[in-house]
Amino acid sequence: MRGDGTAGLKSEFLAVIFRSKPKTRWHTVWCGWQRALWAATDHSNERRSSQVETLKATGFQRLDVEPFQLFGSADWDRVLTFRKDVAPGETYRFGKCVIVLGFNQAHKQEVQPWNRNAGEQLDNGIRLPELWPPDYRCPQSAEPMPVPYLVHPPEVLPIDVGRQLFVDDFLIEETDLRRTYHSAERYPGNPVYEPESRDELDRRAAVYLGQGGVFFDPEDRRFKMFYVAGWRGPLAMATSSNLVNWTRPELSDRGNVLIDRSVDDSAVWLDLRAVRADERLAVRVLGQPGRHGA
């Protein structure tokens, strides 16, 4: 590839262009020959279209070539170039937008029929594809996911590896039972939790999980909800035995407030593996590295 951005490509080269498509986010390249592989991507790492970090993470080295205009005149069509020596059988996953240049033994990997899988075998006898997770499924699709192991079930289904849940026909060879589906009913008492405390009412009358969450505590046999009391307010806790009726326990002179500061940009979880009791509730606060017990 010359410094002016034009490529002197011979017939043995293959160019695979991965652009953004509505139903495609990631593509897989399989290498069938021990050769060099070149890649070009958006020069600005601040844009989602750039695959600079992905290329670096997979061992591609940036070439000492200035960014050049690959298409048109838009800034996002200025690209950086990378190179890597690849071995047969290696696979790489790229999102938008990257251009891969290599010999004609590099091609987009096709999805094999499920009954020809050669990957890991699970305890229930299912044989996975070598490429896992498969990349033929679009994350944005609302269509039902395919269940290929029902179409091509294993010849032998081990059932001595734990409890079995009969939610589909995977373990059922024949039956005279009829499966009936029921729709969920909306709870008439919504909302089940509303602003009541002074902190909640004084801060725009709001309560929300934020980066909190709802956990089941096996020690107390109760659900515990960690939430933001009021708009960008302090961290508070409520408890329930049925996820419908909630109680605000008295934890301090501020009622059910656990941390008397804004925790809107934090992460909270109940650590059931903690050795010390005062570390069971862990909080990660934005801008303060490390773990903070509460």
- This prediction has a pTM of 0.46
Residue 182 is assigned to a structural domain of this protein: no
**Residue range of the domain that includes 97:** 13-108
**DSSP notation for 105-156:** TEEEPPPPPGGG--SPBPTTSPBPPSSSS-S-S-TT--SPPP-HHHHS--SS
Assigned domain for 22 exists: yes
The answer to whether residues 244 and 272 touch, using CB atoms and an 8 Å cutoff, is no
Helices (H) and strands (E) in the chain, counts: 3, 17
Inter-CA distances, 226 with 9, 51, 200, Å: 59, 37, 14
- Distance of alpha carbon 81 from alpha carbon 62, whole angstroms: 6
DSSP 164: -
Tokens for 4, please give them.
């002016």
Q: Which amino acid, 117? A: N
Residue 167 placed within a domain: no
One-letter amino acid of 61: Q
Q: Residue 65 CA to chain centroid, in angstroms?
A: 34
User: Token pair for residue 176?
Assistant: 């005279």
Evaluate whether residue 76 is within a structural domain.
yes
Cα–Cα distance, 35 to 182 (Å, whole number): 57
What pLDDT shows up at residue 211?
Answer: 80
Which of 69, 87, 108 is the last residue in one of the domains?
A: 108
The position carrying tokens 């307010």 is 233
Domain boundary among 53, 76, 108: 108
Distance of CA 35 to the CA centre of its chain: 32
Q: Tens place of pLDDT for every residue, the chain, 294 residues? A: 333 333 333 333 334 444 444 444 556 666 656 678 888 888 876 676 788 888 888 889 998 888 888 777 877 778 888 988 887 777 777 776 777 776 544 444 555 677 888 888 888 888 888 777 665 556 667 777 777 888 888 888 888 888 887 777 788 888 898 888 889 888 898 999 999 999 999 999 999 998 889 999 999 999 999 999 999 899 999 999 999 999 999 998 899 998 888 776 778 888 888 888 888 888 876 655 444 444
Residue ending a domain, choose from 63, 90, 108 = 108
**10 Å Cβ neighbour count for 66?**
11
Domain count, the chain: 2
- The closest alpha carbon to 139, from 24, 21, 28, 48, belongs to 24
How far, in Å, CA of 16 to CA of 12, rounded?
A: 13
Identify whether 17 is part of a domain: yes
What was the pLDDT predicted at 103?
Answer: 52
What's the confidence (pLDDT) of residue 8? 36
Q: Is residue 20, in this structure, part of any structural domain at all?
A: yes
